[in-house]
Amino acid sequence: MKIVSFNKDVVYQENKPAVTLMLDNVYTKEVRIALSRHQLMKEHKAPYPIMVQVLRGVIEFGVQGKKYTLQAGDLIALDANVPHDLLATADAIVRLTLHKADTDERVKKVVE
């Protein structure tokens, strides 16, 4: 058993979103992305289906040219290989659920 908190010890970086692997179990990888207001994760694709949940703040979630405003408590699921981007309109904490075969290193490359 492992207990983690997405709300404790959050560090916002000045120049790019902070990506932290929080949990790696037999089914998924749970990643925290802390975005300061106006930080962007440029358009990218995931090789497997993903889920994105806003835990704090507000983001604009772009999917194939359409923007969705997501607030704390909102959850969106995407199939593999769907182009998407994120823009924080307020400081935000996002929970990203990855397929077990995906990597948090891939996510870190998106924010570089």
The whole-angstrom distance between residue 59's C-alpha and the CA centroid of its chain comes to 10
Average pLDDT (7-36) is: 96
Alpha helices by DSSP H, listed for 1-112, are: 104-111
Determine, yes or no, domain membership for 54: yes
Q: What is the DSSP letter of 111?
A: H
Q: Which of 27, 41, 22 is nearest to 86 (CA)?
A: 41
- For the segment 49-103, what is each residue's pLDDT rounded down to a tens digit? 999 999 999 999 999 889 999 999 999 999 999 999 999 999 999 999 999 999 9
Domain ranges, residue 23: 18-111
Which positions ≥6 away from 83 have C-beta within 8 Å?
Answer: 43, 44, 45, 63, 64
pLDDT at 90: 96
Determine, yes or no, domain membership for 64: yes
Determine, yes or no, domain membership for 6: no
The count of structural domains within the chain is: 1
CATH number at residue 30: 2.60.120.10
Determine, yes or no, domain membership for 78: yes
Determine, yes or no, domain membership for 47: yes
Determine, yes or no, domain membership for 12: no
